[in-house]
């Protein structure tokens, strides 16, 4: 991976009041928040429990549930806004199309070429990249923007007033705001669940996900596998693939267990030969798919702590939009906090963040889950009908995922525009213009003007 700078460009406007934000968790969600909030002028400290962000360490000690990430246009767009597209291009490969085949016999069911007009309107592209490389890009950007990154800093609790993150060694880290990005099974979700009704056991999907990686050299050495490589893949690229199989009942959700090639191969014995070869050459992890509900409340009762990413709206591992929703969260939160004038606004900004993001994440989660259900139908009449419909579309020379003849193509275009065309900063600005300025005017701002829509308000600076 290149060591070129991943520095983000400064935003159009920065905060008037700088506060200290403590981000708990150093995954994509936490690092994105560190980048976004540092970028708008806040002082950020990120607390990560592991001792290292290095890929080798992560693979050896903390295998992630995701190696390959499929970055959709609404995620690429945020990196474009942040001035980080060149860093993404160095670690990713642009996807021009998707080919769909039956896993049992390699029969081609269809091909979908991404619509250029749709991508241009969305402001982004589909890009394939490695989770660890993305994490490194975000880490470098956060550091370049002045964020303090602390490893070996596991948070065990948060003070009742939401002003201190308490580490396992007893250290109390002061914060004006705490942003919790500890995932679907982490501390922040547990903490927020304490204030809510119902349980959080989750609903098993009946599926397991193998997240596997094959070195590109092994693919190039085999004529049958070589055809799977796109010409734009470099010689150093690995080949990542997801394999959904029926749940064997042996893998609890809380565990991400290593999946040696022989284990993966055992689940592919009835698949087409290339898949069997991939499995024999692969190493990876296995995780049980469990659907968890969006939390009732994302903001702690103190009004000083908010959850983001899978901590509050968990996506199942392997989803297309899961990492993207974390990046959108960070972008919305930072845009809101770019308007911060006084500490009393903090709770209202956190509640506004939840208000802005809730409906969006619920809808996109449903779309992702429906896509997984569509692609993993068990053999039977429904799967046969799906395959025949896609094959007929392909034979007619049309994109596999386009609306069928006689259907309303405009409705599909509208849905794609809503999913991929979403602009997180615009959503935050819309709330600010519609509600934020009005609340400020009602409180103590008789004159509204040029900077962030506010003029003539006394400014204090946090000295913590």
Q: In sequence order, what are the beta bridge partners of 210?
A: 243, 286
CA distance 279 to 41: 47
pTM value is: 0.89
Identify the H or E element spanning 118: helix 116-122
Q: Are residues 237 and 187 in the same domain?
A: no
CATH of the domain at 148: 3.50.50.60
CA distance 30 to 181: 5
Q: Are residues 60 and 114 in the same domain?
A: yes
Q: Are residues 142 and 286 in the same domain?
A: no
| Predicted local distance difference test score (pLDDT) of residue 230 | 62
Q: Are residues 362 and 306 in the same domain?
A: yes
Q: Are residues 193 and 233 in the same domain?
A: no
Q: Are residues 249 and 308 in the same domain?
A: no
Give domain status of residue 39, yes or no: yes
Q: In sequence order, what are the beta bridge partners of 156?
A: none
Q: Are residues 37 and 79 in the same domain?
A: yes
Give the domain-ending residue among 372, 404, 431.
Answer: 372
Q: Are residues 210 and 272 in the same domain?
A: yes
Range of the domain at 287: 203-291
Q: Are residues 122 and 271 in the same domain?
A: no
Number of domains observed in the structure of the chain: 2
Give domain status of residue 459, yes or no: no
| Predicted local distance difference test score (pLDDT) of residue 373 | 92
Give domain status of residue 235, yes or no: yes
Q: Are residues 33 and 146 in the same domain?
A: yes
CA distance 88 to 4: 11
Give the domain-ending residue among 271, 291, 311.
Answer: 291
> Strands, DSSP E only, in 25-86?
43-47, 68-71
Closest C-alpha among 422, 455, 337 to residue 74? 422
CA angle 439, 440, 446 (to 5 degrees): 120
Give domain status of residue 2, yes or no: no
The tokens for 341 are 């004038």
Give the number of other CB atoms < 10 A from CB of residue 369.
16
Q: Are residues 164 and 257 in the same domain?
A: no
| Predicted local distance difference test score (pLDDT) of residue 432 | 94
| Predicted local distance difference test score (pLDDT) of residue 447 | 42
Q: Are 186 and 263 in contact (CB under 8 A)?
A: no
Q: What is the DSSP string of 175-229?
A: -SEEEE---TTSHHHHHHHTTSSS----EEEEEEEEEEEEEHHHHHTSHHHHTTS
HSE-CB for 360 with a 13 A CA cutoff: 24
- Please list the pLDDT of the chain residue by residue as tens digits (464 residues): 444 445 676 676 799 999 999 999 999 999 999 999 999 999 999 999 998 887 544 554 454 445 788 999 999 999 999 999 999 999 998 988 888 998 888 888 988 898 888 899 899 999 999 888 999 999 999 999 999 999 999 999 999 999 999 999 999 999 999 999 999 999 999 999 987 777 788 899 999 888 888 887 888 888 888 877 665 555 466 788 888 988 887 776 655 667 767 778 888 888 888 888 888 888 778 888 999 999 999 999 999 999 999 999 999 988 999 999 999 999 999 999 999 999 999 999 999 999 999 999 999 999 999 999 999 998 899 999 999 988 998 898 888 777 665 555 445 556 777 899 999 999 999 999 998 888 777 766 444 444 444 433 333 334 44
CA distance 131 to 225: 23
The tokens for 324 are 């993207």
Q: Are residues 352 and 234 in the same domain?
A: no
Q: Are 290 and 318 in contact (CB under 8 A)?
A: no
Give domain status of residue 388, yes or no: no
CA distance 129 to 91: 6
| Predicted local distance difference test score (pLDDT) of residue 233 | 54
Q: Are 272 and 237 in contact (CB under 8 A)?
A: no
Give domain status of residue 121, yes or no: yes
Give the number of other CB atoms < 10 A from CB of residue 51.
12
Give the domain-ending residue among 272, 291, 310.
Answer: 291
Give domain status of residue 60, yes or no: yes
Give domain status of residue 401, yes or no: no
């Amino acid at each position: 991976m290149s060591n070129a700078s991943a520095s983000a460009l400064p935003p159009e406007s920065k905060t008037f009041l700088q506060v200290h934000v403590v981000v708990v968790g150093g995954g994509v969600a936490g690092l994105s928040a560190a980048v976004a909030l540092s970028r708008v002028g806040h002082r950020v400290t990120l607390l990560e429990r592991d001792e290292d962000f290095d890929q080798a360490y992560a693979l050896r000690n903390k295998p992630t549930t995701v190696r390959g990430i499929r970055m959709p246009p609404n995620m690429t767009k945020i990196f474009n806004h942040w001035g980080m597209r060149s860093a993404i291009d160095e670690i990713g490969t642009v996807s021009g199309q998707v080919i769909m085949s039956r896993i049992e016999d390699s029969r081609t069911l269809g091909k979908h070429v991404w619509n250029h007009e749709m991508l241009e309107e969305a402001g982004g592209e589909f890009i394939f990249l490695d989770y660890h490389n993305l994490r490194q890009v975000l880490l470098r950007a956060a550091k370049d923007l002045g964020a303090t990154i602390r490893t070996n800093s596991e948070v065990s609790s948060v003070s009742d007033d939401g002003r201190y993150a308490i580490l396992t060694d007893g250290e109390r880290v002061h914060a004006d705001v705490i942003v919790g990005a500890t995932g679907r099974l982490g501390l922040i979700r547990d903490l927020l669940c304490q204030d809510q009704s119902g349980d959080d056991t989750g609903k098993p999907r009946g599926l397991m996900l193998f997240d596997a990686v094959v070195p590109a050299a092994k693919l190039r050495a085999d004529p049958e596998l070589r055809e799977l490589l796109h010409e734009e893949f470099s010689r150093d690229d690995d080949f990542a693939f997801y394999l959904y199989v029926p749940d064997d009942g042996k893998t609890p959700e809380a565990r991400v267990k290593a999946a040696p090639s022989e284990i993966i191969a055992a689940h592919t014995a009835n698949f087409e030969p290339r898949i069997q070869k991939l499995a024999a050459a692969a190493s990876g992890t296995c995780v049980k798919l469990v659907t968890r509900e969006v939390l009732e409340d994302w903001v702690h009762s103190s009004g000083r702590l908010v959850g983001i990413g899978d901590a509050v709206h968990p996506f199942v591992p392997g989803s297309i939009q899961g990492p993207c929703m974390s990046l959108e969260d960070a972008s919305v939160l930072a845009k809101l906090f770019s308007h911060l004038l006084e500490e009393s606004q903090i709770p209202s900004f956190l509640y506004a963040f939840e208000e802005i993001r809730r409906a969006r994440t619920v809808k996109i989660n449903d779309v992702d889950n429906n896509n997984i259900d569509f692609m993993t139908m068990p053999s039977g009449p429904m799967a046969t009908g799906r395959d025949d419909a896609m094959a007929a579309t392909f034979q007619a020379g049309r994109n596999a995922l386009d609306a069928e003849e006689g259907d309303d193509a405009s409705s599909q275009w509208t849905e794609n525009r809503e999913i991929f065309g979403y602009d997180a900063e615009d959503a935050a600005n819309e709330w600010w213009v519609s509600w934020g300025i009005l609340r400020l005017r009602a409180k103590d701002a008789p004159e509204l003007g040029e900077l962030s829509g506010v003029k003539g308000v006394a400014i204090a600076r946090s000295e913590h």
